[in-house]
Amino acid sequence: MTQSVTSIPEDTPVQPASDDSLFARLGGIYGISAAVDNLVDRLYVNGAANANPKVDEFHQQQGHAGFKFLVTAWSIEETGGPKIYPGRDMRESHAHLSVTEREFDIVATEIKTSLYQLNVPEREFDEFMELIESYRSMVVAPEHRHAAE
């Protein structure tokens, strides 16, 4: 069941105003959870994102709830929130998936779409996408990386 999220509610609890972390500016746990909820629902039904048989198999074997939890926890921690991510590092968690540059771009596009749908402000949008891009070399399999790297 996919739910349409149009924006992060203005009354979403955030960290104290003195906290300028990306975590706080994205709306804290609730804002990040809303974005990840939207994103994971989109990823599980995106044919291009699941064209890689290894990714498709992972999505078939793993439930949405656990994957949403891991992505939410990772996003909270990486944006300056509490250290709660229990998963493996990005290189290790993606090594078996043989992710290509194109597949990384497809997921990045879905992340952008989710952030746009939630009306994330430009500063936070750009900062979060820079964070995602910084993980490209850890997620894309070595055999699929562009020669420029």
> Mind listing the domains of the chain with CATH numbers?
25-144 (1.10.490.10)
Q: Residue 68: exposed, middle, or buried by beta-carbon count in 10 A (0-12, 13-18, 19+)?
A: middle
pLDDT at 18 over 70: no
pLDDT band at residue 147 under the 50/70/90 scheme: low
The residue whose two tokens read 């974005």 is: 35
94 is known to lie in a ligand binding site: yes
- Predicted confidence band at 2 (pLDDT cuts at 50, 70, 90)? very low
Q: Mean pLDDT over residues 120-127, rounded? A: 98
Determine the pLDDT at residue 10: 55
Identify the pLDDT of residue 55.
92
Query: Is the CB of residue 129 less than 8 Å from the CB of residue 114?
Result: no
Name residue 83's amino acid: K
User: What global pTM score does this model have?
Assistant: 0.83
Q: How far apart are CA 6 and CA 72, in angstroms?
A: 18
Report whether pLDDT(120) > 60.
Answer: yes
pLDDT at 17 over 90: no
